[in-house]
Amino acid sequence: MTMKIIGTGSCCGDHLVTNQDLAQIVETSDEWISSRTGIRSRRLTTGLGTSGMAAKAAERALKDGNVHPEELDLILLATSTPENHFPNGACEVQAAIGAVNAAAFDISAACTGFVFALQTAYGFMAAGGYKKILVIGADDLSKVTDWTDRKTCILFGDGAGAVVVEKEEKGMFSGVMKADGSRGQVLSCRARSGGNFLTGKKPEIGYIYMDGQEVFKFAVKKVPECVEQLLKEQDVQKEDIRYYILHQANERIIDSVAKRLKEPIEKFPMDIQDHGNTSAASIPILLDEMNREGRLTRGDKLILAGFGGGLTWGAALMEW
Ligand code: ACO
């Protein structure tokens, strides 16, 4: 048994913010941001939020795959910025799109979330009973960004990407998932915390904290390692891989991963210049853009690889 993507969709924030715009609010420049990250602009959500963008991306993926919402068995939403503790974001999507036959829950693995969610979908299909699953990556990081911190606020954008996956007999799907909770402090966003009923202390708002250089070192080491592991386990050669679709965190991370894998940079598509780092959404947004531009051909072997908070990282090998 294997599974195939039959439809893609995406929805990005409605408000364009350029590097020049950010230079008005923190001490930075277009040159500093673009040379160190590859980012030139990002889109922030001003109304839809995580679930709203996720629902729009989902509707587009269903339309692209010619799938009726009632055909879905399961909705998995990878996000670390849900609107609520409960109901979960996946249930909000389920209601918005009318997927009345689908179970729905969220998966939290920061920027690796979509790759973990895809592997979770595969696990449900392999276990039986699930034939069509909607897998979404969506994040509204702008609501947990400290807009006075130039080390982090220049990096992120908001968006959602969705795919519909269907059970198939022919093709290929396999993956690896990894975590190292002992290094969680390197990249974190604390929940509202510290509130105390007795003292009357109000909870503090959590913002993204990142040790940029540690994240950089972690990503360029762990992503090639898990990609090599996956290729070896599946006995697939690098020359057979059409594209490596990496989490769009930083152009320099992607360049370094390409070098370490000794693969040409042309096999690593990027859209980070226009979106910034959209966390769990970055891989499915890029997939959707490539699909709509006709850059993917059935049978292409793809590696999708994510890395992020947790720390978490992982990769999936699949045929388009
Ligand atoms: N504009 C201008 N100067 C800045 C900015 C900015 N936006 N941010 C930091 N600086 C300054 C610092 O204050 C520091 O100045 P100092 O030397 O006077 O103290 C100097 O630039 C160097 O700061 P570093 O933090 O060492 O900058 P670095 O070269 O490491 O670049 C960056 C920072 C781009 C974040 C880099 O560490 C990186 O690419 N890390 C990878 C992290 C990443 O991509 N995270 C994405 C989110 S996590 C994820 O998706 C998995």
pLDDT of residue 150: 96
> In ligand 1, which atom is closest to the CA atom of 153?
7
pLDDT digits (tens, 9 = 90+) for 297-315: 999 999 999 999 999 999 9
pLDDT beyond 80 at 192: no
The residue among 163, 181, 203, 173 whose CA lies nearest residue 77 is 163
In sequence order, what are the residues at sequence separation of 6 or more whose Cβ sits closer than 8 angstroms to the Cβ of residue 26?
147, 148, 149, 150, 153, 154
Whose CA is closest to atom 36 on ligand 1? 212
At 207 the pLDDT is 93
Query: Per-residue confidence at 203, pLDDT binned at 50, 70, 90?
Result: confident
**Does ligand 1 lie within 6 Å of residue 193's CB atom?**
no
Q: Confidence band (pLDDT; 50, 70, 90) for 28?
A: very high
DSSP collapsed to 3 states, 160-213: EEEEEEEEECCCCEEEEEEECHHHHHHEEECCCECCCCCCCCCCECCCEEECHH
> Ligand 1 in contact with 283 (CB < 6 A)?
no
CA of 125 from ligand 1 middle (Å) equals 41
pLDDT of residue 194: 74
Query: Any idea what the Cα angle at residue 162 is, between residues 233 and 229, rounded to 5°?
Result: 15
Q: What band does 100 get if pLDDT is binned at 50, 70 and 90? A: very high
pLDDT-based confidence at residue 31 (cuts at 50, 70, 90): very high
Distance 77 CA to ligand 1 centre (A): 30
* pLDDT for 199 beyond 90: no
State mean pLDDT over 211-223: 97
Whether 247 is catalytic is yes
User: Residue 193 pLDDT more than 80?
Assistant: no
Question: What's the mean per-residue pLDDT of the chain?
Answer: 96
Among the residue ranges 19-23, 138-142, 152-156, 200-204, the one predicted with the least confidence is 200-204
